[in-house]
Structure 1
Amino acid sequence: MLGAYYVISRARQYVGMNGVPAPLSVGALNDYLAAYGEQYARDEFDEVIFALDDEFRDRWAEKNKPVEK
C-alpha cells in the first residue's frame, strides 16, 4: 500500500501562498484503482491511504509551523 500511496500522492494539489498540501481526494484513489486494479478490500484501502495522507500532512504542518516571536 505504500507504493499505492506514493503513486496516488503524485496527484496531490497544493493550495494557498505557502503551498499547503490539500488532502487526497476519493477521485485520486478511484483513478489509481482504475489503472492498477483492486488488490485489497476498498474500505481497508481507503482507510490506510487516508491515514498515511493525514500523517504526511500533519508532519508537513509541524515542519512548516510559523515561527513565534
Structure 2
Amino acid sequence: AAQAVAEGIRSRVKALAIPHIKSVVSDSVTLSLGVAAVSQSQNSPKMLIEAADKALYRAKSGGRDRVAISD
C-alpha cells in the first residue's frame, strides 16, 4: 500500500508540471521516493529511516522521478 501511495504522490507532482528552471536534470519538478517497512523484530525508527534512505538513493541513481522499495 505504501508503494501505491508513493507512486500516486510522484505522479501527481509530475502532472503539475512545475517549472524547474535551474535544474540540469529536468525542466520540471519531479520526485524520487524511497519506501520502507520493518518487521516486528526490526522495528527501530533508525532501521526504518536507513532502509527508506537506501531506497531513496536507489531511486535517484536509477534515473530519478521514480519510487524504489527497500530490500
Could you tell me the TM-score, scaled by structure 1's length? 0.40
Pick the structure with more helix per residue: 1
Could you tell me the TM-score, scaled by structure 2's length? 0.39
